[in-house]
Amino acid sequence: MRMADQMSEKNFSGNLDALMVDESDNVAVCLHDIDQGTEAAVRLDKENFAVTATNAIPRGHKLAIREIAEGEKIIKYGEIIGQASANISKGNHVHVHNVVD
């Protein structure tokens, strides 16, 4: 079973809100500002799935697509970009306030 299938809150066929490049990613990049409470459509390959944003996330910033434990590596575009400085809930904004090098 594909990762997107395992994480899906529901299949989503609306507009695209965030993008994952690699199946190992634990964050998606927001394509525009996403308001708190928005059910964001995330694309991985040709599949979309939904993640509810738990806070506002600016365009170009990252959305956690699953729970990320403190100390766990943050993976974007299939590459490690840092590690979580605190527990990060699914749907949270992931940025300098909760990621260290």
Secondary structure (DSSP) of the chain:
--HHHHH-SS---S---EEE-STT-SEEEESS-B-TT-EEEEEETTEEEEEE-SS-B-TTSEEESS-B-TTPEEEETTEEEEEESS-B-TT-EESTTTEE-
**Does the pLDDT of residue 61 top 80, yes or no?**
yes
Q: What per-residue confidence (pLDDT) applies to 14?
A: 59
Q: What per-residue confidence (pLDDT) applies to 96?
A: 94
Annotation: CATH topology of 3-100: 2.30.130
**Does the pLDDT of residue 82 top 80, yes or no?**
yes
Q: Where are the domains of the chain?
A: 3-100
Top-confidence residue, 96 or 10: 96
pLDDT tens digits for 11-47?
445 589 999 999 999 999 999 999 999 999 999 998 8
